[in-house]
């Protein structure tokens, strides 16, 4: 069995990665370490809780010593998703981003070295590259690092720490960077789930500035397949970019959502633009295609249609997130397991030892 430790596995991308691993790798044993801050939701993985190859451990990446015993034997691979990720929140207060994204990454690298973990995968973002002009070539792996928000700066710092750990200590590290993800289980503060759920409720759709910021949209499943390919087949010390040739303006995406839901464009409300708002991201992924045999499989029209359909079919899920009721799920699970064979976090329910 290959033992995987996934940090931040209760978040949007992490949960989709955990599900992919369990579905496509029968020899995978997965330990999910997540602190369950506001964006961590165990309901995202309620369908795999009973899988004997899966374990959840509640823990903070800043302090691996506090949860190391619950994890049991050392993993073969660490995939580090755990991060504060919302740009707006980083503008309001950068401190949590420095704590989790910078100090947390260094703590995980230290734990990796202490435990002798063979592979560490850092899941990064295209935002570390900064912004592109309308006619600029797409970002590639050796594009300059020029972050423009506290969030992006914290992720760039984390990437540099990962590089330093490889050069200084000889760790086998791999860095992945991806464009804007969309798909099921995305927290409704991000653009697409916010637009979808607000439109379903006939509430205003707030769009920053003129809405002409350009993003390269990739379905979360394609991103997760890229991370898996990098973890299994990537070269130590390399960076792999993942994109989908899906450049669209934010306004275009909002229009598509409204059309799919049959809602009027009069719901759109332009609001004051975000400070330091990057104008365009676009990811070149020729190297990932050549070196990993990876390429996106989900087209934008197909993926967005499926995503809107998912939110329509899972109204209870997003209403619980928006109301905050999802935060009770861990407490309910804890009480149930405490009455049974142990509390979540002990690793006993999944063969984690």
The order of strands in the sheet holding 214-219 is: 180-182, 214-219, 247-249
pLDDT at position 87 is 87
Give the tens place of pLDDT for each residue, 132-171. 999 999 999 999 999 999 999 999 999 999 999 999 999 9
The answer on pLDDT for 10 being more than 70 is yes
Please state, rounded to an integer, the average pLDDT across all residues of the chain: 93
| C-alpha span between 264 and 340 (Å, rounded) | 51
Look up residue 339 and give its two tokens: 């009455």
The answer on pLDDT for 350 being more than 70 is no
| C-alpha span between 55 and 32 (Å, rounded) | 6
| 35: phi then psi, degrees, rounded to nearest 5 | -80, -15
| C-alpha span between 351 and 328 (Å, rounded) | 26
Give the tens place of pLDDT for each residue, 315-332. 999 999 999 988 887 666
Give the tens place of pLDDT for each residue, 211-223. 999 999 999 999 9
| pTM of the model as a whole | 0.93
The answer on pLDDT for 333 being more than 80 is no
pLDDT-derived band at 334, boundaries 50, 70, 90 = low
Give the tens place of pLDDT for each residue, 264-295. 999 999 999 988 899 999 999 999 999 999 99
Percent share of the chain, pLDDT over 70:
93
Percent share of the chain, pLDDT over 90:
88
- Per annotation, catalytic residue among 126, 216, 221, 278: 126
- Per annotation, catalytic residue among 127, 216, 222, 247: 127
- From first CA to last CA, the distance across the chain in angstroms is 12
Active site residue 326: no
| C-alpha span between 350 and 353 (Å, rounded) | 8
- Per annotation, catalytic residue among 129, 151, 240, 311: 151
Which architecture characterizes domain 2-183+219-245+278-298+327-343 according to CATH? 3-Layer(aba) Sandwich (3.40)
pLDDT at position 69 is 96
Active site residue 151: yes
Contacts of 20 (CB under 8 A, 6+ apart): 221, 224, 225, 228
Give the tens place of pLDDT for each residue, 23-52. 999 999 999 999 999 889 999 999 999 999
| C-alpha span between 28 and 178 (Å, rounded) | 24
The SS3 call for residue 338 is: helix
What number is the average pLDDT over the span 167-185? 97
Sign of CA dihedral 130, 15, 182, 228: positive
Contact 212, 250 (CB under 8 A): yes
Element (H, E) at 120: strand 119-123
| C-alpha span between 3 and 12 (Å, rounded) | 21
**Alpha-carbon separation of residue 226 from 160, 217, 230, 288, 289 (angstroms):** 21, 14, 6, 8, 10
What number is the average pLDDT over the span 91-117? 96
Contact 227, 17 (CB under 8 A): yes
Please name which of 117, 98, 92 lies closest in space to residue 174, comparing C-alpha atoms: 117
Contacts of 50 (CB under 8 A, 6+ apart): none
Contact 284, 138 (CB under 8 A): yes
pLDDT-derived band at 83, boundaries 50, 70, 90 = very high
Active site residue 208: no
């Amino acid at each position: 069995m290959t033992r995987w430790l996934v940090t931040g596995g209760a978040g949007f991308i992490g949960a989709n990665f955990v599900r992919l691993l369990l579905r496509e790798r029968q020899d995978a044993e997965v330990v999910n370490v997540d602190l369950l801050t506001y964006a961590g939701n165990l309901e995202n993985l309620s369908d795999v809780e009973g899988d004997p190859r899966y374990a959840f451990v509640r823990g903070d990446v800043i302090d691996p010593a506090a949860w190391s015993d619950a994890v049991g034997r050392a993993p073969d691979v660490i995939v580090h998703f755990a991060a504060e990720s919302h740009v707006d929140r980083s503008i309001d207060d950068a401190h949590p981003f420095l704590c989790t994204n910078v100090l947390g990454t260094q703590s995980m690298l230290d734990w990796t070295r202490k435990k002798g973990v063979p592979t560490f995968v850092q899941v990064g973002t295209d935002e570390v590259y900064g912004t592109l002009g309308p006619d600029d070539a797409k970002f590639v792996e050796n594009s300059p690092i020029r972050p423009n928000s506290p969030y992006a700066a914290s992720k760039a710092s984390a990437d540099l720490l990962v590089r330093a750990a490889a050069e200084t200590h000889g760790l086998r590290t791999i860095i992945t960077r991806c464009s804007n993800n969309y798909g099921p289980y995305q927290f409704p503060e991000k653009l697409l789930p916010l637009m979808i759920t607000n439109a379903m409720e006939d509430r205003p759709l707030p769009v920053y500035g003129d809405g002409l910021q350009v993003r390269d949209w990739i379905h979360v499943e394609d991103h997760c397949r890229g991370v898996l390919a990098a973890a299994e087949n990537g070269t130590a010390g390399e960076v792999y970019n993942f994109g989908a040739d899906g450049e669209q303006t934010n306004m275009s995406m909002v229009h598509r959502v409204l059309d799919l839901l049959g809602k009027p464009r009069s719901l759109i409300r332009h609001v004051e633009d975000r400070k330091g708002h990057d104008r365009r991201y676009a990811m070149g992924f020729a190297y990932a295609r050549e070196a990993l045999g990876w390429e996106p499989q989900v087209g934008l029209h197909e993926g967005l249609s499926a995503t809107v359909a998912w939110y329509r079919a899972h109204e209870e899920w997003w209403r619980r997130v928006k109301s905050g009721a999802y935060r009770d799920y861990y407490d309910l699970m804890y009480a149930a397991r405490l009455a049974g064979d142990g509390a979540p976090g002990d690793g006993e329910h999944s063969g984690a030892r």
